[in-house]
Amino acid sequence: MPNRLSSIPEQMKSAYDVVVIGSGYGGGVAASRLARLGKRVCVIERGREFANGDFPARLPELRRELQIRGGKMRSGSATGLYDFRMGEDMHVLVGCGLGGGSLINAAVALQPDARVFADAAWPDEIREDGLLARGYDAARASLRPARYMHADSITKFKALDKIGERIGKRPVAAPVVVNFEDSVNAFGVEQPACELCGDCCSGCNIGAKNTVAMTYLPDAHAHGAEIFTELAVDHLSREGAGWRIHFRPTGSEEVPLASVGAESVVLAAGTLGSTEILLRSRENGLSVSDKLGEHFSANGDIIAFALGKETRVNAIGVGIPPKFEGDTVGACVTGQIELPDETDLARSMTIQEGVLPSALAPLLPVFFLSGGRLLGAAQSLVKGVYQGPLSHLHTFFVVSHDSASGKLVLEKGKTKLRWPGVEKEAVFSRVDDALTKAAESVGARYIKHPLSATGAKPATAHPLGGCGMGEDASTGVVNHKGQVFSGTTGEDVHSGLYVCDGAIIPRSIGCNPLLTITALAERAMMLYARDHQLIPREPSAGGYAEARSA
């Protein structure tokens, strides 16, 4: 694990060459690459820094890391790792911490079907200049996706294989940004081999997962970037030829705003965060495209379950140290069934076998067993999820395509998602049909959501859009480089203002988005280097240096 990366706020300088807001995949790439280009970089993150061993391993710890907001309700710490936004139409889960969503995602690194980028929603340059392919190369070199070579020995993979055999499409090992051997990563950080405990989505407590906090951020720090946590950016304003970034301690709405100056700003606070900051900046006088907030996509996300009687699945994490000794769980996702539709891209989907974190184990009988009866002492109850009926619980992560018809709006200074009728999106019925068939093929009962009887709404952990790319301000919020358009029409941009995260993706991509967000960020930084005629301090992974002269 790298040494502590963040500094105390009092050490922040009055101005920097570049301020990067957010520290997920887009922010990490920007901080690393700009620092290598010799820029004085400041990273501002609203969450806190987690060291290995700090992630929640038990239910009380997980509860302390959960923040929930929706309507007038607000509970939990504003720096809680799990940021759950309850909406009137759809719920959204995002990560909050140094490393962003990489801390709690399933770590699956997939490249979209080529037909995704053929869509006219993307600017022509994305298809034509060849730099996106180099961006994917750089992303893979930095994050090092790997397929577990013994996937077919993992019980939950075998359970998925049994489904695949019955429905006519066998699973393959999924590429995940997890180390399965002790190694030194592309940025010189030592990482141990995965313990196969299954707790990827509650935070890797040994450092085997290639999060942004284990890769790009240590590299940025090593090249001089200064990183500050638990600070929330309110809005941006022009200051001469540069920018002023206005912020306060996270969760301290009563504290007066402080500020820092910068020649350039990279917004990388995620789909919800970057869009919200631009919306508030517009309220404070910044001219931007009228498309701001539009084309929100849930990326066709569905998390669902099936409970059987015969097939052992073993899809509940055991943590480190293990809460139960026995069958190996594996990484959160080990295998997936790929179901492309050659005639209709929107009907394509990928079904992945997932794992529920071990910290949730005490709650699972309440959700899944008849009447939620709690039998026996707590310790027996926890053991029961590994040996009893819940050892037959399938967890499915599905990614597909939706219409990207959601809209993020500002109400009382906070983003709200508006997507009336989202539950009628065709993707939900398609996936329901596919998972019902999959479950029934092995004698299991499909459970769309364990809380569906209480009126659960659709939810996503892969929010995209809100600051989508476009050819000009009439079609998008940013251009193909991530530069923010400076009006409601035309191609003029605000000098030195970029968005560099999932917010710029103008449609669903039909796969887990981490690799694409990273690739687009790498591409944007290649173009930044070219535009400013800058040379990295030293060669970097994936052909980044060579791309400058492409």
Q: In 373-524, at which residue ranges do the beta strands (DSSP E only) sit?
A: 393-399, 407-411, 414-418, 445-447, 459-460, 483-485, 493-499
Residue among 450, 332, 309, 315 nearest 386 (CA): 315
- pLDDT tens figures, 46-81: 999 999 999 999 999 999 999 999 887 899 999 999
Mean pLDDT to the nearest integer, 342-368: 92
Residue among 212, 250, 201, 206 nearest 228 (CA): 250
Instruction: Pick the range with the lowest mean pLDDT from 35-39, 392-396, 544-548.
Output: 544-548
- Confidence at 370, pLDDT banded by 50, 70, 90: low
Give the whole-angstrom CA distance, residue 113 versus residue 399: 12
**368 backbone dihedrals φ, ψ, rounded to 5°:** -115, -25
Give the whole-angstrom CA distance, residue 495 versus residue 492: 9
Three-state SS annotation for 130-159: CHHHHHHHHHHHHHCCECCCCHHHCHHHHH
**442 backbone dihedrals φ, ψ, rounded to 5°:** -120, 20
Instruction: Pick the range with the lowest mean pLDDT from 65-74, 404-413, 483-492.
Output: 65-74
pLDDT surpassing 80 at residue 421: yes
CA trace torsion 530, 534, 537, 539 (10° rounding): 20
- pLDDT tens figures, 189-220: 999 999 999 999 999 999 999 999 999 999 99
CA distances, 493 to each of 34, 117, 412 (Å): 20, 23, 28
* CA angle in degrees (0–180, nearest 5) for 527-37-219: 110
Residue 175, Cα to own-chain centre: how many angstroms?
Answer: 16
Residue 340, Cα to own-chain centre: how many angstroms?
Answer: 23
What is residue 72's predicted lDDT score, i.e. its pLDDT?
79
62's enclosing H/E stretch is helix 59-64
- Confidence at 453, pLDDT banded by 50, 70, 90: very low
3-state secondary structure of 536: coil
Instruction: Pick the range with the lowest mean pLDDT from 60-74, 123-137, 470-484.
Output: 60-74
201-213 b/e (C-beta count within 10 Å ≥ 16 → b): bbbbbbbbbbbbb
- Confidence at 286, pLDDT banded by 50, 70, 90: very high
- DSSP code, position 102: G
CA distances, 24 to each of 171, 194, 271 (Å): 30, 22, 11
Give the whole-angstrom CA distance, residue 131 versus residue 133: 5
Residue with tokens 């992303």: 139
Instruction: Pick the range with the lowest mean pLDDT from 326-335, 455-464, 521-530.
Output: 455-464
Mean pLDDT to the nearest integer, 320-338: 94
pLDDT surpassing 70 at residue 546: no
Asked if residue 86 lies in contact with residue 92, where contact means CB atoms within 8 angstroms, the answer is: no
Residue among 418, 417, 434 nearest 426 (CA): 434
- pLDDT tens figures, 145-154: 999 999 999 9
Q: Provide the percentage of residues in the chain whose pLDDT is more than 70.
A: 93
Mean pLDDT to the nearest integer, 69-97: 93
Which residue has better confidence, 371 or 219? 219
What is residue 372's predicted lDDT score, i.e. its pLDDT?
45
What is residue 373's predicted lDDT score, i.e. its pLDDT?
43
428-444 b/e (C-beta count within 10 Å ≥ 16 → b): bebbeebbbebbbbbeb
Residues 372, 436, 163, 149, CA torsion sign: negative
Q: Structure tokens of 515?
A: 């690799």
Asked if residue 325 lies in contact with residue 313, where contact means CB atoms within 8 angstroms, the answer is: no
Q: How many alpha carbons lie under 13 Å from residue 503 in its C-beta half-sphere?
A: 37
Characterise 207 by phi-psi region: left (phi > 0), alpha (psi -120 to 50), beta (else).
Answer: left
91-95 and 459-460 strand pairing? parallel
What is residue 369's predicted lDDT score, i.e. its pLDDT?
62
What is residue 381's predicted lDDT score, i.e. its pLDDT?
58
Mean pLDDT to the nearest integer, 523-537: 92
Q: Structure tokens of 223?
A: 């090249």
Instruction: Pick the range with the lowest mean pLDDT from 259-268, 284-293, 308-317, 492-501.
Output: 308-317
3-state secondary structure of 525: helix
